[in-house]
Amino acid sequence: MIARTHDLAAITALGIVFVLLPPQSLSLATLIIAVLANLLGGITPDIDQPTAPLWRNLPIGSFFGRIFGKLLGGHRFFTHSIIGVTVIAYLAHLLLLFLQPIMGSVNIDVVWWAFVIGILSHLVMDTFTKEGVPWLLPIPIKFGIPPVRAWRITTDKKIENWIIFPGLLLFNCWFYFLYYDRVIELLRSVTR
């Protein structure tokens, strides 16, 4: 799937978790940084391909992207597995602990969860595509839903752009309408 769809899926998943399992306290700074971390998490697994947004936007990024992709075993490999997600999540936690002293009122646990939710949503979305996802590496099987490959989605084609992306948008509208009271409650609880 393309970055735009992954980011929408990530923020959708984060919204569901925030509304159904609201954090006990949420400062505005935490909310903003959590949303950014979630969007970053949503595209992080694709650092294994040279065309990833991160590499595209950096000078000589495609060069680093190619090296990184090779190191990570190529596209849809290490970063698209439970073991890879665990390693990335651990490194992100270390980075957050390191940054904590300069982050003031930011709750790094909430930020970390938002990042991890973004990554997991990426893997779930990719599971619906033709290539599948090697969830259980080092077991080299790529899983997909539905199991029949031909019935799955092709990245950046009509189904993704005209059904999945608008479908996610509609889902968000329905979800926030359904839980309107809880959303208001959550927003009211946000502190400075």
46 binds Zn ion (CB under 5 A): yes
Cα(159)–Cα(120) distance, integer angstroms: 21
7 binds Zn ion (CB under 5 A): no
* CB of residue 11 to Zn ion, shortest distance in Å: 16
Q: Between 85 and 111, name the residue whose CB sits nearer to Zn ion.
A: 85
Q: Between 106 and 133, name the residue whose CB sits nearer to Zn ion.
A: 133
Stretch that binds Zn ion, among 45-53, 97-105, 142-150, 181-189 (CB under 5 A): 45-53
In sign, the C-alpha dihedral spanning 79, 83, 87, 90 is: positive
Task: Record the tokens describing residue 56, joined without a space.
Answer: 């595209």
The closest of 17, 48, 46, 44 to 31, measured between CA atoms, is 17
Task: Record the tokens describing residue 190, joined without a space.
Answer: 């946000």
| Beta carbons of 29 and 105 less than 8 angstroms apart | yes
Size of the site for Zn ion (CB under 5 A): 3
Q: Between 39 and 106, name the residue whose CB sits nearer to Zn ion.
A: 39
Beta-carbon contacts of residue 80 (< 8 Å; ≥ 6 apart): 45, 48, 122, 123, 126, 133, 134, 135
Stretch that binds Zn ion, among 13-21, 22-30, 32-40, 126-134 (CB under 5 A): 126-134
In sign, the C-alpha dihedral spanning 37, 164, 84, 57 is: negative
Q: Between 15 and 45, name the residue whose CB sits nearer to Zn ion.
A: 45
* CB of residue 82 to Zn ion, shortest distance in Å: 14
Q: Between 46 and 160, name the residue whose CB sits nearer to Zn ion.
A: 46
160 binds Zn ion (CB under 5 A): no
* CB of residue 46 to Zn ion, shortest distance in Å: 5
126 binds Zn ion (CB under 5 A): yes
* Residues at the interface with Zn ion (CB under 5 A): 45-46, 126
